[in-house]
Chain A
Amino acid sequence: MPAHSSYQVLSPITESHTQKTRLAPSIPDLAGKTIGAMRHTFRADETFPMIEQLLREKYSNLKFISNTDMPDMRPTNAAEEAELTRVLKDKGCDVLLAGNGA
């Protein structure tokens, strides 16, 4: 390969299809709201009950739906996202706590 060679090169990446999504608005007072928890990973079965207890101590009339009463969902496409939305609506969730680990 001659030392003087010059190359005009192309990018190996493609541009994202990402559309900006709005974060859900904050909820100044969680009293009376429904908070769902999802997934069993990374000691979630121990930590979600701790979080539930702390929430109940702080807010009156708060409904907490345990991860054991929620489906274990990890949507990765539009159809699965729609199904998660449907589940959250059916359960009446104002908030979803997910991940619990990574």
Chain B
Amino acid sequence: MVIAVSDFLTSCRATGKAAGLPNLRVAVYPGAIAVHPLEDVQKNIQEIVFPQIIKLLTEPVAQGAVSSKVAAQEPAIVFQGSFEQVNEYYTQKQWSDGLPIVPPTADKVQTFLKFTEHSPNAVLGVLHPALRPATVHSIAVNGVMAGCRPEYMPILVAIVQAIADPRFHLEDAGSSAGWAPLIILNGPVIARLGFNAGTGVMRAGNQANTSVGRFLRLYLRNVAGFIPGVSDMATFGRPNFPVLAENESASPWEPLSVTRGFAPGDSVVTVTSVGCMSYQLTVVAQTGHDILYNLTAKVKQTLLAGDGSVITKGPEQAPQLVLSPVVARSLAEAGYSKRDIQQHIFEHAKVPACEFDAWLAFQGVVNARECVKKGLLPAQFAESDDPQRMLPLYHAPHELQIIVAGTPERNRFFVTQQVGRQGLATSKKISMGLLG
């Protein structure tokens, strides 16, 4: 049985129902346990939670009804009407993100399906929390709705392959942290399909960047089943990110996709969570050493401004350092490779253990040594009990994802905190075969 705080009861019910357990045993703790004094917690456990536990375990619980279904075979027409009527219908069905959608007619969907080698009924994964199959047909329908062009279909397929990969842990995309997925694009597909990689790369406005970003939110809602307040428990949430296309032609280094193991010339999509993001910071330094000093300080500050619990969420993270081309070029001309930068920042973006422990202070776990005992951090974080020992803010140098994008000659950069296990950076090669 599950013990949940009261705001998460609907989420537990929805998840249980999707898993075939509509009457999953859930004992509810009243309110936000994290802010309750210990004596209140004790009282609530004794008087409210414990009686529920006993009742749910010892008394019969109705099994509840859940329909047993299989993947739809033939897509059926679900509605007929004007543009306005279709949009009203989709809004009522909770199939919209609140903006008008392009009506997904069979003809339009068919034009998308011409750009993939997969059959429409091919299933790329079963997505949490609704446990619905991610069919290629559903990708086309949501792509039409988002305002994508048919030729974006290979990218949409790769995005869904990424979020369906167990490494991504899609089931956490509705956590109260409210993180948003960011799509990073590499390879010839950027120019081929007109993605913006320069000024305002993440500003809504360019059809490719914007509609593909919108597609992912619609797909998370309609197929994965993340409905705000039901199964998407984002406390605040974040808007969709337009696609971050790397400005490869202006970069002095290999693209992110090659760093992540793909061949030069491959078109690759990487999907990753973003928990928090820095200001679009300015570099004012004239030497590579000083630029690196600046970047290191801001990586450290951004991660410390984020959630310390992230470092305990799995054995890997993928924070991002996004540099404008001129910043990257200045570093490259000073002799720094991506690997040099990763190593330097990892070694220098450290904090004393006492500060690290304060950053970690969450959910009853109070310091690095206890996290190591519980298996939440590797042994290197408990090599001594010296409160002044220096600890890193992520696990290894290669975790820092360096991307070059934005205005070529503007000296800015930004940093993000990725959310560890939740939405861990996952890359998939895009099939370009049908793009001509």
Docked Cα-Cα span, A86 to B4, in Å, equals 25
**For the complex, is A45 an interface residue (Cβ under 8 Å from B)?**
yes
Convert A67-80 into 0s and 1s, putting 1 for each residue whose CB lies closer than 8 angstroms to a CB of B.
01000101011000
Asked if B223 and A14 make an inter-chain contact with CB atoms under 8 angstroms apart, the answer reads: yes
Convert B146-178 into 0s and 1s, putting 1 for each residue whose CB lies closer than 8 angstroms to a CB of A.
000000000000000000001001010001100
Q: Enumerate chain B interface residues (CB-CB to A < 8 A).
A: 1-5, 8, 11-12, 18-21, 23-25, 29, 33-34, 38, 41-42, 45-46, 49-50, 53-54, 56-61, 63, 66-72, 75-83, 86, 89-90, 95, 103-106, 109, 126, 128, 130-135, 138, 141-142, 145, 166, 169, 171, 175-176, 218, 222-223, 233, 363-365, 374-376
Interface residues of chain B: helix, strand, loop or mixed (majority): mixed
Shortest C-beta distance, B233 to chain A (Å), equals 7
Chain B residues positioned under 8 Å from A100 (CB to CB) = 3
Asked if A68 and B41 make an inter-chain contact with CB atoms under 8 angstroms apart, the answer reads: no
**Among the listed A28, A42, A51, which residue makes an inter-chain contact with B53, where contact means beta carbons less than 8 Å apart?**
A51
Chain A residues positioned under 8 Å from B60 (CB to CB) = 25-26
**For the complex, is A47 an interface residue (Cβ under 8 Å from B)?**
yes
Q: Enumerate chain A interface residues (CB-CB to B < 8 A).
A: 1, 3-23, 25-30, 40-47, 50-51, 54, 58, 68, 72, 74, 76-77, 95-102
B64, closest chain A residue (CB): A23
Asked if B364 and A44 make an inter-chain contact with CB atoms under 8 angstroms apart, the answer reads: yes
Q: List 5 A-B contacts (CB under 8 A).
A: A7-B81, A8-B77, A16-B133, A102-B176, A102-B233
Q: A12-B145, A43-B363, A45-B364 are in contact. Are A7 and B2 (CB under 8 A)?
A: no
Q: A7-B82, A26-B58, A102-B8 are in contact. Are A15 and B104 (CB under 8 A)?
A: no
Asked if A95 and B1 make an inter-chain contact with CB atoms under 8 angstroms apart, the answer reads: yes
- Since A14-B223, A27-B58 are in contact, a sample of 6 more A-B pairs with Cβ atoms closer than 8 Å, ordered by chain A residue number, is A7-B81, A18-B19, A30-B54, A51-B45, A98-B2, A99-B3
Asked if A42 and B34 make an inter-chain contact with CB atoms under 8 angstroms apart, the answer reads: yes
Chain A residues positioned under 8 Å from B86 (CB to CB) = 7, 9
Shortest C-beta distance, A44 to chain B (Å), equals 7
Q: A9-B78, A72-B375, A101-B3 are in contact. Are A20 and B68 (CB under 8 A)?
A: yes
Asked if A10 and B104 make an inter-chain contact with CB atoms under 8 angstroms apart, the answer reads: yes
A99, closest chain B residue (CB): B2
Chain A residues positioned under 8 Å from B42 (CB to CB) = 50
Docked Cα-Cα span, A101 to B75, in Å, equals 39
Docked Cα-Cα span, A64 to B109, in Å, equals 55
Docked Cα-Cα span, A14 to B63, in Å, equals 25
Docked Cα-Cα span, A102 to B171, in Å, equals 13
Asked if B75 and A47 make an inter-chain contact with CB atoms under 8 angstroms apart, the answer reads: no
Docked Cα-Cα span, A65 to B313, in Å, equals 23
Asked if A11 and B76 make an inter-chain contact with CB atoms under 8 angstroms apart, the answer reads: yes
Shortest C-beta distance, B345 to chain A (Å), equals 29
Asked if A10 and B78 make an inter-chain contact with CB atoms under 8 angstroms apart, the answer reads: yes
Shortest C-beta distance, B342 to chain A (Å), equals 29
Chain B residues positioned under 8 Å from A5 (CB to CB) = 82-83
Shortest C-beta distance, B351 to chain A (Å), equals 23
Docked Cα-Cα span, A1 to B103, in Å, equals 12
Question: Max chain B CB contacts within 10 Å: which of A7, A19, A42, A74?
Answer: A7
B1, closest chain A residue (CB): A97
Asked if A21 and B223 make an inter-chain contact with CB atoms under 8 angstroms apart, the answer reads: no
**Among the listed B3, B41, B76, which residue makes an inter-chain contact with A97, where contact means beta carbons less than 8 Å apart?**
B3
| 5 A-B pairs with the lowest CB-CB distances in the bound complex, closest first | A21-B20, A7-B103, A102-B8, A99-B2, A12-B222
Shortest C-beta distance, B113 to chain A (Å), equals 12
B66, closest chain A residue (CB): A20
Asked if A12 and B105 make an inter-chain contact with CB atoms under 8 angstroms apart, the answer reads: no
Chain A residues positioned under 8 Å from B104 (CB to CB) = 9-10, 12
**Among the listed B57, B68, B81, B89, which residue makes an inter-chain contact with A26, where contact means beta carbons less than 8 Å apart?**
B57
Q: A10-B75, A23-B21, A102-B4 are in contact. Are A15 and B61 (CB under 8 A)?
A: no
**Among the listed B54, B63, B68, B89, which residue makes an inter-chain contact with A18, where contact means beta carbons less than 8 Å apart?**
B68
Asked if A16 and B131 make an inter-chain contact with CB atoms under 8 angstroms apart, the answer reads: yes
Docked Cα-Cα span, A3 to B70, in Å, equals 38
Question: Max chain B CB contacts within 10 Å: which of A21, A25, A42, A97?
Answer: A42
Asked if A40 and B141 make an inter-chain contact with CB atoms under 8 angstroms apart, the answer reads: no
Chain B residues positioned under 8 Å from A6 (CB to CB) = 80-82
Docked Cα-Cα span, A1 to B176, in Å, equals 41
